[in-house]
Amino acid sequence: MRIGELAARAGVSVRSLRYYEEQGLLTSTRSASGQRHYTEEHVERVTFLQRMYAAGLSSRTIAELLPCVDSPSEETSDAALERMAEERERLSEHIADLIRTREALDQAMATNRAHRERLRSAVTG
Amino acid sequence: MRIGELAARAGVSVRSLRYYEEQGLLTSTRSASGQRHYTEEHVERVTFLQRMYAAGLSSRTIAELLPCVDSPSEETSDAALERMAEERERLSEHIADLIRTREALDQAMATNRAHRERLRSAVTG
DNA sequence: CTAAAACCTGACGCGGACGTCAGAGGCAAG
DNA sequence: CTTGCCTCTGACGTCCGCGTCAGGTTTTAG
Q: A112 CB contacts (<8 Å, ≥6 apart)?
A: B68, B72, B77, B81, B84
Using pLDDT thresholds of 50, 70 and 90, give the confidence band for residue A80.
Answer: confident
Of residues A109 and B69, more confidence is placed in A109
pLDDT at B102: 92
pLDDT at A32: 95
Q: Which chain B residues are within 8 Å of A85, Cβ to Cβ? A: 109
Q: B11 CB contacts (<8 Å, ≥6 apart)?
A: B47, B50
CB neighbour burial string for A73-109, b if at least 16 within 10 angstroms, e if fewer = eeeebeebbebbeebbeebeebbeebeebbebbeebb
**Is the pLDDT reported for residue B121 higher than 70?**
yes
DSSP state of A11: T
Q: What is the CA radius of gyration of chain B?
A: 23
Nucleotide nearest to B15 (CA to C1'): C18
Check if the beta carbon of residue B62 is closer than 8 Å to that of residue B25.
yes
Q: Which chain B residues are within 8 Å of A52, Cβ to Cβ? A: 101
The pTM assigned to this predicted structure is 0.84
Number of residue pairs across A and B with CB atoms under 8 Å?
A: 102
Q: CA A85, CA A92: separation in Å to the nearest integer? A: 10
pLDDT at B77: 67
Lowest mean pLDDT among A20-34, A84-98, B37-51, B102-116: B102-116
- CA at A11, C1' at D16: how many angstroms apart? 20
